[in-house]
Each structure stands twice: as C-alpha cells, then as structure tokens.
Chain A
Amino acid sequence: MRISKRRFPFPVHILVFLAPAVLLYSLFMVIPLVNSLRLSFFEINNQNQVSFAGLQNYVKLFTDSNFAPSFWRALRNNFVFFAVHMLVQNPIGLLLAALLAAGGRIRNFFRTIIFMPTVLSVVIIGFIWQLILNPLWGVAESMLEAVGLGAWFGPWLGKPETALVTVALISVWQFVGIPMILFYAALIGIPEELTEAARVDGATGWEIFWHVKFPLILPTVGIVSVLTFVGNFNAFDLIYTMKGANAGPDFSTDIMGTLFYRTFFGQQLQLGNPTMGATVAAMMFLIILTGVLLYMFLWARRVQSYEL
C-alpha cells in the first residue's frame, strides 16, 4: 500500500507567529545568559585582552582571600534570608489563607488590604520601613511601648547581629501576600464533599485542616517553596535600597545579589570585574537551577500522586 503524498504548503504562518517572540527572547535573554556563563571561564587583563582561564575564576571565588570570605558570607546570609522566609512568611501566608478561605465580604476586604504591599516597589517599601524603624522618628518605638514591649526596641537595622533578620522580615512583610493568595486559591479549590465527610465523622476544624486539606494543597506548598527560593537567591533591591551596595553594617546583610553587583561594578576601593561578576552570577544560576531541579524531580513527582 502506498501512502498518497499530499503536498502541504510550507507553514510560513507558524514561523511568522513564532519568530518575533523566539528572536526577542533569545537575543535579550538566552544569549546574554549563555554569554555570561561563558565569560566566567575567561579572564580579561589590563590590556583588555580576553583569554581562556578554565575554572580559575571559580577557584578564586572559593579560595582567594579577596573573594572567598565575601562569597561564603553572602551565601550563608542568603540561606538565612531564605530560612526567615520559609519559617515566617510561608506559615503566616498559610494561616492567613486558611482564615480567608471561609469567604464573605469582610474577608475579601482583608485579602485586598494584606496583598497591597506586594504590588509596591521594593524601593518604596525599603524607605518606608527605614523611616518607621528610625529612632529619630520613634514611630516603631512608641508602638512597641503602647503594647508594653518598649524595652525590646533597638537600632535593629544598624547592628550587624540584627540587620539581616530585620531586612528579611521587612521582605516577609511585603511579600506574604504571594504565598497567602496561592494557598488561598488552593484551599478554595478543595471540593466541599471531602471536608463535609470528615465533619460528619466528628473531626474538628483543626483536624480537618491538617488531615484533609493540607495533604491536598501539598503541590502548592512545593510551588510556594520553589518560588521563595528563586526569589530570595535573586534578591537585591531591598538590601541595595536600605543598606547600599556595601550591604552594611559591616557586610552583615550582604547576599548573592549585592555581592554580584559589587563584584561586577566595583565599589569605592575595588574596580569592577566583569569575569568575576559573571562567575558570581554563574554560581547564582547554579544554585537556582539546583533548587528548581530538586523541586521538579523530587517534590513535584512524588506529590503528583496525591492529587485528585
């Protein structure tokens, strides 16, 4: 039997539809990203000559006394920054979502209010909190005094021991709306029959939440975690706004994003270094990629089976 050959015209229209997006995306995102990664294997000398350096930049970043201490510090700080988000932002987001999921006009109003800081620029949020926490203005201090915690107040942003956690909590305050809204969407999607069955069996609200609802929203827990991870290891604006490129005091708020900026553009005493900057960016890329792949292959696969 012969399959009859029908000549289709070449699908020019598919090319026309796809070309602009693929070109723009490739030219301004993928190719620069690949070039950045490539540059991390090269060296540029004072005469602006580029030469292949193998893994030398990475060795320098991990061991050289000019780079290694700040790299490891930024990496550690970034994990602290991430931990604060996982331990504070996402549980609060889940609590608020659980409370909002009951519905009603007043809860919808609260939902709108709590999501509001999320849409504002990080620069604005950074300055607002700098003013609120400023001892000169004393707003935060008088508020703490009003609830009897006045003695707790201190120049949190100015002390190396507290600055990083304070900045992380400000970021939590701003972005709690994102986990909240994602958990909320997952919770209101749970079919009522499931919770009703548990209620008939005499389960309390607390039991229903942890034994029926929570297992069902596990996929969202994964998505929220990976979004938090990517966002945190890519963060820059808040620290740059509040503490400058030097991520003070004494580099105590330095994370990967600010380290990347300083290494690439330089600071007061040190010239910018494109290849070392590219190396820091490549490390950020590797960290983020690891997180995303772990999520995709370990979490997302295992959790799929629980889905309805």
Chain B
Amino acid sequence: MRTTPLYRLRQWIEKSIPIIILTIYALISLFPIVMILFNSFKAKKAIFGTPFALPTSETFSLIGYETVLDRATFHIYFLNSGIVTFVALVLTLFVGAMAAFALAEYDFPGNAMVALYLSIGIMIPIRLGTVGILRLMVSLKLVNTLTGLILIYVAQALPMTIFILSQFMRQVPKDLKDAARIDGASEYRIFGMVLPLVRPALGAIGIFTMIPIWNDLWFPLIVAPSAKTATVTLGVQQFLGQWVSDWNAVLSSLTMAMIPILLLYIIFSQQMIRSITAGALK
C-alpha cells in the first residue's frame, strides 16, 4: 500500500471539500439572521459604526426593545397568534384524525371519492378562493375576528393532515382493533385507542401545520386587519412600515418576532427533519 504524504494530502482535500462547501453555505444561511440578532442589542452608533462586531459593554443598548414595547402592542399580537395557532392546531388534529380514521378503517362506498375530494386541497392553495372567503366572512360577521382566521386555517390544513394521518392509521395492526371489537368496544372507543398509537405522526403534522399558520400574512391582512386581531406577522409588518427610520426599533421588533419560532425550531428540529425524511421514504 502506498501512503505517501502527497496521496494522504489528496485524500484529505477530497474529504474536506464537501465540508468546506457546507460550511460556506451554512454561513450564508445564518449570517443575515445573526446580524439582526446582534445589532438589535447595540446602540445606534454601533449599529452603523461596527455592524459586524458583537455587542460589548460599551455598545450594549436595549433602547430598541424599549421603543417597541412602548409603541407597539406586541403582547396583543403574540396573544392573537398564540390563540389562532393553538386552536387551529388542536381542531385540525382532532377533526383531521377522525376523518383519517374513517377513511383508513372502513370500506364504505364512496371512500375513494371522499379521499380524492379532500386531497384536492393539498395542491390547490386556499388563497385562490380569497374573494369567496371574504364574502363568506362578511355574511357570517366573522371579519376582524380570530374565529374567522381559525376556521380558514383549519380548512387549509385539513387535506394534508388527513392524507398523512390515514396512511399512518392503516399501519395500526388489525388484531388490536378486532380484539377490542369482540370485547364490545364501540367504534368511538376504538378511535380513542388508535389515536395514541399515531402520536409521533400527530406531533410531526402539528409542527408543519403550526409554522405556516403562525407565519401567514395574507389572511390576517385581508380577513382580520384590525389592531385588536392582528397577529405577530401582520403586526410586525405594519409596525415596521411605520418605523423604517428607527433602526433600533426595527432590529428589535424583528428579533422579537423571530425568537419564538427559532426556539421552537431549535427544540424540535431533529424530530421535524426526521419526520420528513421518514415520510418521504415511503
């Protein structure tokens, strides 16, 4: 075996090129976010003077956060986003699991038709029905209410939820359910029994349902733009529009809007990515 230093050097270079490319791309992904985070804790002079430096004891300042907390009603936006996301999520998972169970468990006439009907919404974005949705919301008096937003988001998330959950529910062993049936359990009890068994899928779908709801700008802008019902995404968008020239306030409000999702992502990222890779393998 020839293991000259030159050969080893070549091997080392070949091995490290992928890592170098990935490092560069990871920096490209990270640096804009990090720039905003760092600079939101600096005084205005330092934001412009030394944008690439970490905040030091001399340049540290919370003035931006003070302005934001003073001027904007961020706590209301966070509360609205929290309520909308949470209620829509719970409803989607529960209602979606029931439908997925029916489609996976029972062989009734029209099963395939119902499944097809429900899956149209996977590919056709709900936004295209906005004109109709707004008219419906007006007639139901749901304009500028969180209820209106929640109902739209549930309808938006159901097709994908049902599609994925019914695949998981088909994998629950039949013996288990049949044994319960022989013991005289009702179909509702059996549903209650199956639900915990697909918990990992519920978790993954939950995260993927939540993110687009939390981040959505379109429906809050159109259906619930009032100050009382604005979500974080809409609130930040409007706040930033008014305060463009106050860099401290802009950087701080961006940071505040990012933190919850970033934390959530850091906690759940492994699970999230694993669930996509596992789902795509099927």
Contact = CB atoms under 8 A, between A and B. Distances in A.
Contact of B280 (A119, A185, A264, A281): A185
A14 interface: yes
Interface in B27-72: 28-30, 32-33, 35-36, 47-48, 51-52
B124 A114 contact: no
A92 B108 CA distance: 46
Interface string B150-179: 011011101100100000000000000000
Interface of A: 11, 13-14, 16-18, 20-22, 24-25, 27-36, 39, 92, 95-96, 99-100, 102, 106-108, 110-117, 119-124, 127-129, 131-132, 137-139, 142, 173, 181-182, 184-186, 188-189, 220, 226, 230, 234, 236-237, 240-241, 257, 260, 264-265, 274, 277-278, 281-282, 284-285, 288-289, 292
Contacts of B101: 17
B215 interface: yes
Interface centre among B99, B120, B131, B265 (most CB of A within 10 A): B131
B131 A264 contact: yes
A111 B22 CA distance: 9
A137 B101 CA distance: 55
Nearest to A31: B132
A181 B155 contact: no
B22 A112 contact: no
Interface string B137-156: 00000000000000110111
Contact of A17 (B22, B102, B217, B250): B102
A138 B273 CA distance: 35
Given A25-B158, A181-B276, A120 B258 contact: yes
A57 to B, nearest CB: 12
A190 to B, nearest CB: 10
Contact of B129 (A14, A36, A115, A188): A36
* 3 tightest A-B CB contacts, nearest first: A32-B132, A33-B129, A185-B280
A114 to B, nearest CB: 5
- Taking chain A's interface residues, is the majority helix, strand, or loop, or is none over half, making it mixed? helix
A25 B128 CA distance: 14
B106 A30 contact: no
Contacts of A142: 51-52
A116 B265 contact: yes
Contacts of A121: 214-215, 217, 232-233, 236, 257, 261
14 contacts: A18-B102, A31-B132, A34-B129, A35-B135, A36-B131, A110-B25, A113-B26, A117-B33, A121-B257, A122-B217, A123-B237, A139-B52, A236-B127, A257-B127
B108 A124 contact: no
Contacts of A260: 130
The number of chain B residues touching the other chain, given as a range, is 35 or more
Contacts of B95: 20-21, 24
A239 B238 CA distance: 15
A114 B29 contact: yes
Nearest to B127: A234
Given A13-B187, A36-B129, A96-B25, A185 B276 contact: yes
B277 A181 contact: yes
A128 B281 contact: no
A278 B131 contact: yes
A17 B191 contact: yes
B133 A28 contact: yes
B202 interface: no
B262 A120 contact: yes
B188 interface: yes
A100 B131 CA distance: 43
B207 to A, nearest CB: 9
A114 B265 CA distance: 12
- Taking chain B's interface residues, is the majority helix, strand, or loop, or is none over half, making it mixed? helix
B254 interface: yes
A114 B166 CA distance: 31
Interface string B253-282: 010011001101100011001001101110
Given A112-B269, A123-B236, A137 B51 contact: yes
Given A234-B125, A288-B123, A185 B214 contact: no
A288 B128 contact: yes
Nearest to A23: B95
Contacts of A117: 29, 33
Nearest to B207: A119
Given A39-B131, A100-B22, A121-B215, A25 B236 contact: no
Contacts of A102: 18
Contacts of B18: 99, 102
A220 B276 CA distance: 13
Given A14-B106, A28-B154, A124-B236, A115 B273 contact: yes
B201 interface: no
A2 B261 CA distance: 64
Contacts of B23: 110
Contacts of B123: 226, 230, 288, 292
Interface string B185-198: 01110010000000
B83 interface: no
A20 B218 CA distance: 25
B32 A29 contact: no
B277 A188 contact: yes
Contacts of B280: 182, 185-186, 189, 220
